[in-house]
Amino acid sequence: MADLSAWMKAGTETVMLPSGVQVRWEPTHVTELMLRGIMPGYLRSMALQFAGDGVTPSEMKGEDESNWKELVSLLIIEGVREVAMPESDEFEAIRLTPAQVNDADPRMPRVDLETLQHLVLHLRSPLEVNATSRMAQLEREYREAEERGADDDELAALRERNETKATEFARIISKEASSSLTGWAAFRDLGRSIVAGTASPDMAPAPVQSADHLGPGGRPRRRRRARHPADGTPNQGATAV
């Protein structure tokens, strides 16, 4: 019998979650679920808001908020195809249940659920999540080696490995973070947790602005037109600080 494993993996991406669990992830889209008839009728209105530019999650109340969370859970259930436990590359087919991805009481580490939520909402890409998780795994392995009393040669080799891998992963994270947020810019309220609501902190700090333009006391310097040195008339092409 032919080996169908490569075919079965087609269209999926292998992603390590923060806990070290790996999943085969198939990107899911609202319109695809609607066309396949998977989307329950009472979620269609919410799905159309999600796909377009409707209300933001922080504005939802009552039934809308409940439907929003159910929609996100459905996208996660359809996206996770296989799973491998930490320290193993043996994947098994799985279909998560609503109880396992219930935001109020998940049956998995909450950090993993939040990561899956970010994936379905395109706030983070599979490559970014995978690189971030693998970088954290390298650090865990180094700390474990220290705790068991590894000798200097082993620790030096681990440090060298981590530095090399960290450079590679950092490049991926930087590139993917930029493209993910830019590609999802049409969805409003990006800076907040999608499920938690208005009380959630921003996902990232505000960009740092250079202070070169500030005067004493942190106030902007007043700008004025430079005057021609000879006759005192304004020079339209220049400004002075």
Across 187-212, b (16+ Cβ under 10 Å) vs e yields: beebebbbbeeeeeeeeeeeeeeeee
**40 and 84 housed in the same domain:** yes
Distance CA 237, CA 16 (A): 55
Q: What is the pLDDT of residue 2?
A: 56
Give the number of domains in the chain: 2
Structure tokens at 179: 């493209």
**15 and 85 housed in the same domain:** yes
| Segments of the chain scoring below 50 in pLDDT | 54-55, 182-221, 223, 226, 234, 236-241
Distance CA 172, CA 179 (A): 11
Q: Which amino acid does the sequence have at 204?
A: A
Inside any domain, residue 223: no
How buried is residue 108: exposed, middle or buried, by Cβ count under 10 Å (0-12/13-18/19+)? middle
**34 and 93 housed in the same domain:** yes
**178 and 192 housed in the same domain:** no
Distance CA 210, CA 36 (A): 50
Inside any domain, residue 96: yes
Inside any domain, residue 82: yes
Give me the domain span that covers residue 29: 11-123+186-200
15 in Cβ contact with 80 (< 8 Å): no
**91 and 175 housed in the same domain:** no
Q: What is the pLDDT of residue 27?
A: 86
**36 and 130 housed in the same domain:** no
**29 and 118 housed in the same domain:** yes
Closest residue by Cα to residue 116 from 80, 86, 170: 80
Inside any domain, residue 239: no
Q: What is the pLDDT of residue 227?
A: 52
Instruction: Read off the DSSP letter of residue 220.
Output: B
Inside any domain, residue 6: no
Dihedral sign computed on CA atoms, order 93, 72, 38, 177: negative
**31 and 59 housed in the same domain:** yes
Inside any domain, residue 54: yes
**153 and 106 housed in the same domain:** no
pTM of whole model > 0.85? no
Inside any domain, residue 209: no
Distance CA 150, CA 78 (A): 43
Dihedral sign computed on CA atoms, order 167, 168, 171, 177: negative
Inside any domain, residue 147: yes
**33 and 130 housed in the same domain:** no
**114 and 141 housed in the same domain:** no
Q: What is the pLDDT of residue 217?
A: 44
